[in-house]
A and B are shown apart, each in its own frame.
Chain A
Amino acid sequence: MAAQSDTIPEKTSYVVRFAGDSGDGIQLQGQQFTVASALGGHDLATLPDFPAEIRAPTGTRYGVSAFQIQFGGDRITTPGDAPDVLIAFNPAALVVNLAHLQDGATIITDENAFTNQRLKRADLDSNPLEDGSLDRFTVHPVPISDLTQAAVKPHGLGTKDSLRCKNFWALGLMLWLFDQPREATRQWINIKFAKDEQVKNANLAALDAGHAYGETMELSHQVVQHPTPEAALSDVEYRTLTGAEALSLGLVAAGELADVGLMFCSYPITPASSVLHHLAGLEDAGVSTFQAEDEIAAVCAAIGASYGGKLGVTSSSGPGIALKTEALGLAVATELPLVVLNVQRAGPSTGMPTKTEQSDLYQAVYGRNGDTPLPVVAARSPADCFDAAIEAVRIALRHMTPVMLLSDGYIANASELWALPDFEAYSAIEHHQPDPDASGAVFERDPDNHARVWAYPGHPGFVHRVGGIEKDLATGNISYDPDNHQAMTDLRQAKVRSVANFIPDQTVDQGTAHGLAVVAWGSTYGTVTQAVREALDEGLSVGHVHIRHINPLPENLGALLAGYDRVLVPELNTGQLATVLRDKLLLDVVQLNKVSGQPLTVSEVKAQILALAPNNLREASNE
């Protein structure tokens, strides 16, 4: 291939996509690049995009695992619509990711992987490196496999093990390309492979060799190093974390703020399991974890824990939440605190377990037998999962109610830079546990939040029976009295409605309070933020209203939205928040829906904004 001049534009932020087989260590490579980028002082957002198979057959299109990151000196809220650089380890990883690239993008690929056999495995009739199909891109074929093997040869690994180091070789090259520090990766390798000197040294050698290759390449003017400017950060400590980590930390922190033990009861399911993994072993932080025999047992054990005096938390994804549904009714009926985490994924049925969607909103808000309302809270970004988890616990304990906490596959796995919060500034979480020596009526309720007394075994003054059969408002005994059922139903409604009295008014996250409102919830936050920012820069009247509290909605939401001419609701479903808004506010909205298993892109949202929002500059010039 003829030497080409560098075509990566000079920018303040870049988008890089790593792609290879699901066994190539792509996700690890991406995570290490993320840490290096953060330590380099960049803002960032990531998008892991991997198949459900753990080690899919090598070289196949469906087995491709990818990791995308946007990083740099701008304020970054999304992993980026289109990569500036794609690094592809094989033909399949190259071809399935071409759709993400814009003309002129740079591709670095392992030319050793473009054998007839691997081309065939990727369903390719000809070699894209030779057939002209990549002409609109700048392609740098690099013999990554050969160079990795050469680099690790002194450490005596076999061919197979040598090739497993190629992710670090490529990482070294990318770290060089964007002038990112290598130290954290070196440290990680040292710790991870501490027990295997040979593997450790081989990976370190691969990392350095990739880096050195970049420097050499620079001499040939093929690719120039692109030092990336640092972001304007505050004078605090930062770290990166995924949504799953942030959510786990939030739960742990909430237990401390409430001074209540947490019992996290779960059953393995993608993409929710990582929260269980993060919390397991954190007994010292006041959390015990229980892996139940099934989803139903998980929620039931959590309810039992709440009955027993700890805060029960359960987690799952849509199919598992469906199984837990009957038990949620029990928690509502018995007025027990409970947090139910739903890390949403594409449905229906098993759907696409590793692909993201926001399609369980109906399930959360409406999906139970009987009149069984419960509060619903949604996290909007990886780091926001920390505060969303604390908020869910706060509501559950304040009102003695189960709370549905919505996350999704995208924010669970994605990571971003997180400014460490000032934990001392968080207010304590109130709850209704009685004094151990007190006695009284268990079902006397707080007039403001409608919570009953959280009396649990061990309290002699509050011995009582409770259950899923309708209970007497005052005594908790079984009651089939018609007036009592009306009163209990009213109480359950009033309780959830009362949550609105404790949550902050809805604000406009960014932009105008007139013109077009972009009303969104959950993981579309970053995309909508960027799209609205760009639209505002172009002079449009548009405001971003991002809803955390889905049920009940903030009291002022209707009045706030009445100030706009039109409302656009972008969602990764067929229009579920749109339905809720129509239901609760009698509000007509324009929908923007996408259900491809991928997040919305900034350009998709921006195109709709441009089509719907009034343009101040244009209108001003017309006057």
Chain B
Amino acid sequence: MSELTFKDFETDQEVRWCPGCGDYSILKAVQRTLAANGAKRENTVFVSGIGCSSRLPYYVDTYGFHTIHGRAPAIATGVKLANPEADVWVITGDGDGLSIGGNHLMHALRRNVDLNILLFNNEIYGLTKGQSSPTSRIGTTSPSTPHGSFDSPVHPGLLALGAGAGFIARGVDIDQKGLPPILTAANDYEGAAFVEILQNCIVYNKDVFDDVVNKKQAAETQIHVAHGEPLIYGKERNKGLRLNPAALTLESVLIGEGGVSESDLLVHDETNPTIAHLLLHMSAPLPTAMGVIHRLNRPAFDQSFWHHKPTERRAKVLDLLRHGNMLDRRAS
């Protein structure tokens, strides 16, 4: 059988997101990733909750399960445990995954079930028409917060780190070059891989990430981290991140100025949760970290779960029926 192309992962269903929605490009990146990795339709499952992002399974020609609000990580856990051969992806959003389903996300991450969890973060509720979400910034005006929201947003990456996630990455919806490698890395990780994708809701929260993702300045506002490489960014590749040991923070420095050389920069160690914390925490004027921010191999839950394999089931069942103290009245 010939290799499948990304088009082979399209379904006959009309995609019903708003024109210009960031979900279109994420869908494409997902399909490209599947094709590039030689995924098999029958062994790939997309499980989603409720929300705009959660319609994605209907558009990918693999097994797909569009479930109920917030519960995708729990259902996907069941799918993976029951069907260990399956490659299970979870599609969720900031409302679905961090509000109504926050508990399940936390436990899927700490258990380290082998799932690829893609959280489309657009900092708003889309499908229910624009209410503020748990990632909305303070002051977000919405139908449910007419005077501006005043509750502090949750930080998806830091929540994942706190929950014990072994794989944390971040990408941008429109980054067709950067996103597929991140998805591939997530897929390769044996355990719960958490990917936050900054997604543009063109109707209810248009360009909320513009200061980070706008292509004109993206080189200065994003840093694409790579394990073992010094933290360098900027169009001229002349900016870097240096650890300030006194303040325990990262600071942006210009390479070649004030005696700063590349060797002064912090080298990314994806296995180090403290560096992950520093990178995840960065916001303007520091760049936003993209790529694989944290990757630490530890045993996946499903591997331990299937440590015992059923053998001699019938004999065991018959044995169980006769367990305990027997009163034998059979004719001897």
Contact = CB atoms under 8 A, between A and B. Distances in A.
Contact of A297 (B47, B82, B104, B323): B104
A288 B305 CA distance: 8
Interface string A310-350: 10100000000000001101100010000000000000000
Interface string B71-85: 100111111111101
B43 A294 contact: no
Interface in B296-332: 305-306, 308-314, 316-318, 320-331
Contact of B327 (A238, A293, A304): A238
A305 interface: yes
Which of B40, B43, B309, B310 has the largest count of A CB atoms less than 10 A from its CB?
A: B310
A237 B85 contact: no
Interface residues of A, number: 69
Nearest to A183: B325
B81 A300 contact: no
B86 A300 contact: no
Given A239-B325, A457-B43, A467-B66, A296 B74 contact: yes
Given A285-B320, A293-B104, A477-B58, A300 B65 contact: no
A297 B71 contact: yes
Nearest to A314: B78
A269 B246 CA distance: 50
Interface string A177-192: 0000000100000000
Interface in B32-55: 40-45, 47, 50
Contact of B74 (A297, A334, A417): A297
Interface stretch (A128-136, A248-256, A495-503): A248-256
B: interface residue count bin: 35 or more
Contacts, number: 216
Nearest to B311: A284
Contacts of B24: none
B40 to A, nearest CB: 8
Decide if the interface of chain B is mainly helix, strand, loop or mixed.
Answer: mixed
Contacts of B76: 304
A417 B328 CA distance: 12
B68 A330 contact: yes
B78 A457 contact: no
Contact of A477 (B13, B85, B106, B330): B13
Interface in A188-235: 233-235
B66 A469 contact: yes
B13 A312 contact: no
A290 interface: yes
A150 interface: no
Contacts of A294: 103
B66 A303 contact: no
B324 A253 contact: no
A236 B81 contact: no
Interface stretch (A116-124, A458-466, A553-561): A458-466
A327 B71 contact: yes
Contacts of B312: 284
Interface in A474-494: 477-478
A307 B322 contact: no
Contacts of B64: 464-467
Interface string A240-268: 11000000010011011000010101000
Given A237-B322, A457-B63, A307 B81 contact: no
A252 B320 contact: yes
A309 interface: yes
B61 interface: yes
Given A237-B326, A237-B328, A463-B62, A307 B79 contact: yes
Contact of A420 (B62, B63, B314, B322): B322
Contacts of B330: 235-237
Contact of A293 (B78, B81, B103, B318): B103
Contacts of A233: 327, 329
Contacts of B252: none
Contacts of A157: none
A35 B327 CA distance: 10
A24 to B, nearest CB: 23
A465 B67 contact: no
A309 B83 contact: yes
B261 interface: no
A302 interface: yes
B327 A301 contact: no
A285 B65 contact: no
A467 B67 contact: yes
Contacts of B71: 296-297, 300, 327
Which of B13, B65, B306, B311 has the largest count of A CB atoms less than 10 A from its CB?
A: B65
Contacts of B43: 457-458
A326 B85 CA distance: 28
Interface of B: 11, 13, 40-45, 47, 50, 57-58, 61-68, 71, 74-83, 85-86, 103-104, 106-107, 305-306, 308-314, 316-318, 320-331
29 contacts: A233-B327, A237-B326, A238-B329, A239-B323, A239-B325, A240-B324, A252-B320, A263-B78, A283-B309, A284-B316, A293-B103, A296-B104, A297-B103, A297-B107, A300-B74, A304-B74, A304-B80, A305-B81, A307-B65, A308-B86, A310-B82, A312-B82, A327-B68, A464-B64, A465-B65, A466-B66, A467-B57, A467-B58, A468-B66
